[in-house]
């Protein structure tokens, strides 16, 4: 019996704690579902057991929601009498008075807290948070402003949060600029705090106020930190032209030798703003070779032109030849080394995919592989070499190189990239089951891009491995009649090899002869991509529209709608269609990865 009592005594605290946790979960569940009559008793019991102020706050909120204001007032006054030094209970009492419509009494409590602020920083912050919980941002601000004088400390960051909670963008901006003006080393901290609000600033209200405040301060008192902040603000809104203009002015004022422009040039390229990127790089080049960023700018111009080739903005044979010669000139001047190797890869792609000089591409890749480079760069070079062989129709040589890269890089992401390419070769050549075995492993790849690509391809294969009578597609292209998956895979291989007409024909076969196939929308989308690449924008738009409208339930619909809107706006002078499909993304696919861009572009066209 004695032992039993000891066991019960030891177990009791754990049972009580488990019971408390169950009550806590239930209390919050009732509160969130607005069942205040059930939640109020649980919060009262939890407070009586733990004396945790958070439970008391919810207890009072429940009483207020139930209209039991006198009971709430009595409960708070009791706590004030017990906890004479805890000013937060006076804030709660003020909130109860406000619920009763006794605004004078509420103000009296709030003002009493302000006049009795402690000198302790943490206590002041806690009272500020209590005012925010009571929905009193003005008093939260007063607590921090008065507290700064009393405690002789800085509450700028806390003030920023108070203003952000009440969407007071003017004071929020001014506080940010005060912090940076007083201490330039805090610029990154301030930018990190602002980034969330700028990214969610759908009406550009904060952006407009912050930009205006920055410009006024810079004009009044030029400041490097504030100028850098203004550049950063422009970049957040993808306004690279204004960012570059501001960077030029700052560079001239500080004799920066182009350092701001090089970084902006790359960001503009990544965003597809090639004209602004070229402008940024040319500014640095015009400074001459004395600039330590001269070579970066020269290579940046080449990369900008190459990315325009990839985006089909440059297709003229003379421009392609010019870019080819510029690459060769750089390699002669700078050599092939770690600083130029990425440009070697781009040059090899240019020679292979756009100038049809695969042998030239192979030669420079092999030359680069003879240099002392790290494992990642060598892997990239070998992967590119294998791609060139695959482009030229030599699948076996490509497979051997991919396999070697995979073997040499089993413990890093390059091995996963090689395995994915091997799986794609198997897919292209009709070995679907073997491809799936590789793709299933890659779904867990550490590199998100590889994992996503593997999952997308696996879905295409899995969803189309069976024909209508239940028989599986044969794991070879040569021994069985063509099935739509084989034709589709062959089209994808032709796409990789830039054999646009052959690829279009494969997809057209699926659209016309396998009308009930789940690959029809995929085929239409790829046909649209081909026509877009060939600058046949009207036909591309028609194909994208068919995917967006006729296959609105499928996973390509939002992507097709976005491309249709982009083409309509940029090439077809059809802003109304662009607006319609940007809006379609926002209304029909609010979780789409294109939603943010669609919202910005819709508002820009709509003039709002």
471 and 494 fall within a common domain:
yes
Q: What stretches of 551-593 show up as alpha helix (H) in DSSP?
A: 557-570, 575-588
Cα 287 to Cα 266, 339, 520: the distances in Å are 18, 21, 54
478 and 556 fall within a common domain:
no
pLDDT at 6: 46
What are the structure tokens assigned to 293, written together?
Answer: 């960023």
Q: 283: burial class by Cβ within 10 Å (0-12, 13-18, 19+)?
A: buried
537 and 567 fall within a common domain:
yes
Q: Which of 287, 195, 269, 275 is nearest to 236 (CA)?
A: 195
543 and 556 fall within a common domain:
yes
460 and 528 fall within a common domain:
no
Q: Is residue 504 part of a domain?
A: yes
Residue 538 is part of a domain; what is its CATH number? 1.25.40.10
Q: How much is the pTM?
A: 0.79
489 and 553 fall within a common domain:
no
539 and 601 fall within a common domain:
yes
Place of tokens 């794609």: 424
Q: Is residue 540 part of a domain?
A: yes
What are the structure tokens assigned to 30, written together?
Answer: 């009732």
**Of 515, 531, 562, the domain-final residue:** 515
- Phi and psi at 472, nearest 5°, equal -80, 150
What's the angle, vertex CA 245, arms to CA 244 and CA 251, rounded to 5? 80
pLDDT at 1: 47
Q: Is residue 219 part of a domain?
A: no
**Of 495, 515, 535, the domain-final residue:** 515
pLDDT at 607: 66
pLDDT at 449: 86
Mutual angle of helices 294-310 and 259-270, in 10-degree steps = 10
DSSP assignments along 109-135, one per residue: HHHHHHHT--S-HHHHHHHHHHHHHTT
Q: 411: burial class by Cβ within 10 Å (0-12, 13-18, 19+)?
A: exposed
501 and 456 fall within a common domain:
yes
Query: What is the separation of C-alpha 92 from the centre of its chain, rounded to a whole number of angstroms?
Result: 40
pLDDT at 170: 96
Q: 602: burial class by Cβ within 10 Å (0-12, 13-18, 19+)?
A: buried
What's the angle, vertex CA 362, arms to CA 358 and CA 364, rounded to 5? 120
Q: Is residue 511 part of a domain?
A: yes
550 and 593 fall within a common domain:
yes
**Of 490, 515, 540, the domain-final residue:** 515
Q: Is residue 318 part of a domain?
A: no
- Considering its fold, how many domains does the chain have in total? 2
418 and 511 fall within a common domain:
yes
574 and 500 fall within a common domain:
no
Structural contact between residues 406 and 419, judged by C-beta atoms closer than 8 angstroms: yes
Q: Is residue 419 part of a domain?
A: yes
pLDDT at 202: 73
Query: What is the separation of C-alpha 174 from the centre of its chain, rounded to a whole number of angstroms?
Result: 28
Place of tokens 């980034």: 195
Domain that holds residue 468: 409-515
Q: Is residue 46 part of a domain?
A: no
506 and 530 fall within a common domain:
no
Q: Is residue 470 part of a domain?
A: yes
Q: Which residue ranges in the chain fall short of pLDDT 50?
A: 1-16, 467-474, 476-480
Place of tokens 């550490």: 446
Place of tokens 């039991």: 68
């Amino acid at each position: 019996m004695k032992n039993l009592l000891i066991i019960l005594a030891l177990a009791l605290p754990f049972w009580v704690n488990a019971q408390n946790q169950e009550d806590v979960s239930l209390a919050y569940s009732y509160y969130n579902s607005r069942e205040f009559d059930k939640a109020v008793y649980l919060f009262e019991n939890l407070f009586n057991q733990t004396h945790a102020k958070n439970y008391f706050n919810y207890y009072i909120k429940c009483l207020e929601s139930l209209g039991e204001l006198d009971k709430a007032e009595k409960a708070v006054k009791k706590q004030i009498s017990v906890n004479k030094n805890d000013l937060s209970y006076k804030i709660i009492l003020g909130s109860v008075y406000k619920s009763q419509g006794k605004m004078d009494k509420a103000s009296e409590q709030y003002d009493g807290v302000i006049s009795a602020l402690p000198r302790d920083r943490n206590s002041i912050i806690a009272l500020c948070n209590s005012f925010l919980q009571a929905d009193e941002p003005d008093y939260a601000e007063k607590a921090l402003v008065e507290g700064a004088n009393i405690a002789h400390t800085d509450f700028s960051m806390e003030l920023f949060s108070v203003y952000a909670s009440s969407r007071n963008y003017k004071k929020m901006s001014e506080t940010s600029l005060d912090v940076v003006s007083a201490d330039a080393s805090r610029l990154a901290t301030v930018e990190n705090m602002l980034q969330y609000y700028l990214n969610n600033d759908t009406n550009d209200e904060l952006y407009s106020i912050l930009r205006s405040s920055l410009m006024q301060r810079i004009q009044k008192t030029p400041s490097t930190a504030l100028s850098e902040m203004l550049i950063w603000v422009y970049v957040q809104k993808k306004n690279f032209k204004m960012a570059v203009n501001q960077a030029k002015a700052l560079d001239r004022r500080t004799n920066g030798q182009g350092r701001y422009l090089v970084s902006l040039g790359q960001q503009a390229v990544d965003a597809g703003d090639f004209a602004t990127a070229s402008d940024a790089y040319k500014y640095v080049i015009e400074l001459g070779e004395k600039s330590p960023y001269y070579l970066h700018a020269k290579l940046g111009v080449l990369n900008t032109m190459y990315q325009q080739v990839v985006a089909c903005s440059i297709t003229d044979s003379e421009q392609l030849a010019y870019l080819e010669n510029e690459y060769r000139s750089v390699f002669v001047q700078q050599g092939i080394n770690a600083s130029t190797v990425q440009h070697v890869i781009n040059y090899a792609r240019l020679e292979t995919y756009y100038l049809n000089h695969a042998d030239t591409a192979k030669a420079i890749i092999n030359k680069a592989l003879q240099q002392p480079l790290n494992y990642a760069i060598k892997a990239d070079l070998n992967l590119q070499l294998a791609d060139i062989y695959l482009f030229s129709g030599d699948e076996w040589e490509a497979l051997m190189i991919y396999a070697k890269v995979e073997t040499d890089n089993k413990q890093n992401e390059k091995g996963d990239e090689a395995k994915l390419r091997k799986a794609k070769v198997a897919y292209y050549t009709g070995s679907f089951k073997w491809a799936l075995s590789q793709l299933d492993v890659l779904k867990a790849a550490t590199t998100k891009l590889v994992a996503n690509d593997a999952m997308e391809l696996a879905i295409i294969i899995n969803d189309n491995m069976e024909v209508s009578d239940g028989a599986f597609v044969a794991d070879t292209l040569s021994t069985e009649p063509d099935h739509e998956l084989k034709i589709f895979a062959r089209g994808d291989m032709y796409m990789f090899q830039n054999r646009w007409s052959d690829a279009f024909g494969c997809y057209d076969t699926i659209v016309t002869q396998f009308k009930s196939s789940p690959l029809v929308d995929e085929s239409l989308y790829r046909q649209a991509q081909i026509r877009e690449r060939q600058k046949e924008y009207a036909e591309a738009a028609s194909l994208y529209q068919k995917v967006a409208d006729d296959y609105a339930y499928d996973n390509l619909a939002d992507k097709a709608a976005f491309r249709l809107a982009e083409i309509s706006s940029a090439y077809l002078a059809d802003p109304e269609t662009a607006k319609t499909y940007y809006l379609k993304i926002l209304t029909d696919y609010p979780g789409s990865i294109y939603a943010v861009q669609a919202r910005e572009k819709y508002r820009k066209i709509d003039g709002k």
